[in-house]
Structure 1
């Protein structure tokens, strides 16, 4: 039994976009189709400087730390529009915040190879700048399977520690490349390094097809990252079924204060509460499962070592999962010896 006061290692934000975060309110959010907001984001990216990215990301990190986050994995756009400015800024932040939060960086092919073929060389250059993962998106190129193959080949060439894909983010049954991704991971025996983010279309395909896909994912040892704020525009993936299959599932804030989501403070208990409401994580063991999802530290061995070396504890006045998820309290952040999560 835990004591009345709960002391833990802190929370993990498994997916966000720090380089594009905190644009709002300086940029006024206007609701529009995702493709239009994507165009607006490209226009803003063309204006980014390294210092601008650093300052906005720093603001987001300080908020996360205030709410008890001690690990974050952020995608950082790499393309001809923004170049390597985001990577440069994030590598500096990684060092500046090393005593407070572990920052894992994923060099992200947000725009795709079709729109910007030059992205391939930029991604390769990014991967030589420091230890980081690689990120793709199954819907940004006309041939999603070719996109997956190219990203997996690059990941193998550079021996990246992890590979992530924004997967079937539209939520449409016809956009369902998750089985192909799992098959490729199984064939290449690299599933333990692959993270499928969102997996929205898994929620809309027929139940039998979903069950077979989840079994394939489990056999391939894929990880999944759920971002509950996506419920604003599309269904959330089958989180409970994934957990039941033994698939490692993490929780991410996704966008924070940008042209895809003008809200978002980085409070992982708040995102867990949202998922609890949307998918009815109401039974006691389900509430505990949610807390486990936001306490899932880095799987990568080197990042895990840095995480466990943090001299930070996060303290709450209650150990009850129901109280934490109901009230989303602020923790006390304590600098001390490493505690056990």
Structure 2
């Protein structure tokens, strides 16, 4: 029998979260209505957010991440006329307060789209001037014309020389919303290789194998990163993680929403999310389980962020384990 060993790491890497909206539930009641209705509840809630409220809830979510051994989180923060820049201000303060415990990167996020709130463009531009480690995020389904939305986000990023760009990509899972190939083409044409993240990519799971293979090859060629959030399985199929990995695409993993109107649960435990993906897509072979652990413990791709993570204690979190299978089966807490 394999003897237990001490596996030591600086911590897990959570590459997609929404800390500004975290912990709305159970303080606010949740009902499992269609997503469009729950998005409306979110807009209503945001209109009453205060900077202190956002800080307090984001801190609760952050403390959960820390309790499970997280060393890095990249969080989207909504920026629009409803909430203004309060979320960015709160998360910048939170980042400073916890800088010796966890590295927080911030993405100014256009959740609501330009069609609904045209003034979001100016606010996003202002957000990008507030710190050198603030990227910009879009959503390929938030506007009527997804391609134009992608172009507009890239234009704002280029004007501000943003450090990275992220898109919630094809999140519905519907083939008619399949914009991953267009996004990859834009990444390559605009020179954003290595600095762009496609989150979810659910439609890739539902297009034909031929279209999927072409899109995966284009994604790899463009240097477009993909971030998978296994909790999305609640409403749509998860993207083709194994094929993306085999093609050489860098895969990250995120918690996504934590206790809000899009997910009333969400522990923040990266081992739990890795376990969920293992069940969904049968990451059952030893090398596949090792791959999942590499995904959730790899350094951030952004060089400045990686340096900051490397300055944290490298043996801060210890797990008593036998192998990857044991970790992903039993989800032990760090000591």
- Smaller-chain TM-score bracket: over 0.9
Cα distance in 2, alignment partners of residues 9 and 317 from structure 1 = 15
Answer yes or no: is the 8 Å Cα contact 1:183–1:216 preserved in 2.
Answer: yes
Cα distance in 2, alignment partners of residues 119 and 81 from structure 1 = 9
**Structure-to-structure mapping, 1:187-202, within 5 angstroms:** 187-202=189-204
Offset of residue 189 of structure 1: 2.1
Ranges in structure 2 where 5+ consecutive residues have no aligned partner: none
**Structure-to-structure mapping, 1:228-243, within 5 angstroms:** 228-243=230-245
* Residue 227 of structure 2 corresponds to residue 220 of structure 1: no
* Residue 82 of structure 2 corresponds to residue 88 of structure 1: no
CA gap 1:261/1:16 in 2 versus in 1, 3 angstroms: same
SS in 2 for 1:282: coil
1:269-295: CA deviations, max 9, x gaps?
000000000010000000000001101
Cα distance in 2, alignment partners of residues 2 and 72 from structure 1 = 32
* Residue 211 of structure 2 corresponds to residue 209 of structure 1: yes
SS in 2 for 1:14: strand
Offset of residue 2 of structure 1: 11
Offset of residue 3 of structure 1: 7.6
Offset of residue 244 of structure 1: 0.4
SS in 2 for 1:5: strand
Partner of 1:327: 330
Cα distance in 1, alignment partners of residues 115 and 322 from structure 2 = 50
* Residue 218 of structure 2 corresponds to residue 179 of structure 1: no
1:31-60: CA deviations, max 9, x gaps?
010000000000000111000000000011
Partner of 1:316: 319
Ranges in structure 1 where 5+ consecutive residues have no aligned partner: 333-341
* Residue 295 of structure 2 corresponds to residue 286 of structure 1: no
Cα distance in 1, alignment partners of residues 182 and 298 from structure 2 = 26
Partner of 1:46: 47
**Structure-to-structure mapping, 1:67-78, within 5 angstroms:** 67-78=68-79
SS in 2 for 1:113: coil
Cα distance in 2, alignment partners of residues 111 and 190 from structure 1 = 24
Offset of residue 265 of structure 1: 1.2
Structure 1's consecutive aligned runs of 4 or more residues displaced over 4 angstroms after TM superposition are none
